[in-house]
Amino acid sequence: MKILLVSGPGISLKEPYNSGIEAFIVSFANQLVDDGHIVDVIASKAEATAKFTLVNPFSESITDNPNFILRLKEKRQFKNLKTDLYDVIHYNMFYPHLLETGCRFNKPSFLTIHSPADKKRIAAYKRLSNGTDLVFVAISERVKHQWDKALGIDMPLINNGIDMSLWPKTSLKNPEYLLWSARINEQKNVAAAICVAQHMQLPLKIAGRIVDQNYFDEQVKPHLNSQIQYVGHVTQRELSSLAEKAFAYLATATWQEPFGLAALEMLASGIPVVGFHTAVPPNWMHESVLTTASLHWQDLVGLISKSSAILPASCVAFASTMNIQNMTSNYVKLYSAALLQKGIGEDALFEDEHEPQNVS
């Protein structure tokens, strides 16, 4: 099968990733290739070791708030892409102007929704759901529930999956610290993790990209010392190394986390997750995930104490139910069903490879 995955203009797929969506795209694309498919990915940058082919039809955009003229230019550039080469097109980020253009390609098209249902996205996706054959896909039961209600549809659910080989189980018998990793802003709420660590007099390692400098300066920086350490915006390999010496991962987000990819990665490393209900999907009912409905950091203290009894093997076993192989297989089944519905036979899905588009 020939697949085009679309991230967006200016998106870097190089580590350290700006969010979990980039990590999702890279792992997914590489697994599709491992499974024998031909995969091009639209982004501005990718690692030299990527198994997929990078395609970049866009002029580099510096601004985070593209104006009307820039969006028109991007639509034209996207429209000029040779999409007849592909069997399916799969979108993964919020670029309504590209989706509107892509839905005219007459190709089976899919949009994985990685975000909660907010007013801006609801308005855009309602237009697309009413006027196109675009298939929306939810990454968790929480996302599905929100978006089914917002759009009045019953979208398929495919849980995110991770490459378990990237997160080897820790064998450390004497862990040293609590670990927190996410974007650093008010919603992700690292301040709660700091309060817990200070109260329990435990070391804490903080990893993540600073997206709200004022929040960092006011809520994080004043507390940094030999006990509370900010280690920066790290790669997956670096985060895996940090996991080797952690005895619990703190999931403290106060917004309705769409999935919680970092939490799943830590479970795969053999580390129990302790946090708020809001920070992980509600269907993660497992002994390795200890959460509270409260949003008070004080209510995490007892859960951290309980987490010491959780065996690493239990964490890994739960994480393995959401691996990249299962996720990819479910997407391929979805693709195949759409193609067969269009009358494209299975034999046509495995023709000789096409020449990659050299537009990057």
- Give the model confidence (pLDDT) of 273-330 as tens digits: 999 999 999 999 999 999 999 999 999 999 999 999 999 999 999 999 999 999 999 9
The β-bridge partners of 205 are 179, 229
Position 129, amino acid: S
Angle between helices 312-319 and 261-268 (to 10 degrees): 130
- Give the model confidence (pLDDT) of 243-260 as tens digits: 999 999 999 999 999 999
User: Residue 347: its pLDDT value, please?
Assistant: 53
User: Residue 348: its pLDDT value, please?
Assistant: 52
Distance from C-alpha of 14 to C-alpha of 6, rounded to nearest angstrom: 15
User: Residue 173: its pLDDT value, please?
Assistant: 67
User: Tokens 């309705």 label which residue?
Assistant: 256
User: Residue 344: its pLDDT value, please?
Assistant: 64
**Are the C-beta atoms of residues 84 and 71 closer than 8 Å to each other?**
no
The half-sphere exposure of 292 on its side-chain side, counting CA atoms within 13 A, is 16
CATH 3.40.50.2000 fits 164-320, yes or no: yes
User: Residue 44: its pLDDT value, please?
Assistant: 95
Reduce the DSSP state of residue 246 to 3 states and report it.
Answer: strand
And the tokens for 190?
A: 């690292």
CA 125 to chain centroid, in Å, comes to: 19
The β-bridge partners of 6 are 42, 91
User: Tokens 């991230």 label which residue?
Assistant: 7
Reduce the DSSP state of residue 40 to 3 states and report it.
Answer: strand
Distance from C-alpha of 119 to C-alpha of 350, rounded to nearest angstrom: 40
Q: Where are the alpha helices (DSSP H) in 86-235?
A: 96-102, 119-131, 141-151, 190-200, 213-215
User: Residue 174: its pLDDT value, please?
Assistant: 83
User: Residue 65: its pLDDT value, please?
Assistant: 63
Extended beta strands in 62-213, E state: 88-91, 109-113, 135-138, 177-181, 204-207
Segments of the chain scoring below 50 in pLDDT:
350, 352-356, 358-360
| Sequence ranges of the domains in the chain | 2-161+323-350, 164-320
2-161+323-350 and 164-320 share one fold: yes
The helix (run of H) or strand (run of E) holding residue 229 is: strand 228-232
CA-nearest of 119, 121, 220, 120 to 111 is 121
Domain range 2-161+323-350, its CATH number among 3.40.50.2000, 2.40.128.110, 3.30.300.210, 3.30.70.260: 3.40.50.2000
29-64 core/surface letters (b: 16 or more CB in 10 A; e: else): bbbbbeeebbbbbbbbebeeebebbbbbbbeeeeee
Distance from C-alpha of 336 to C-alpha of 262, rounded to nearest angstrom: 30
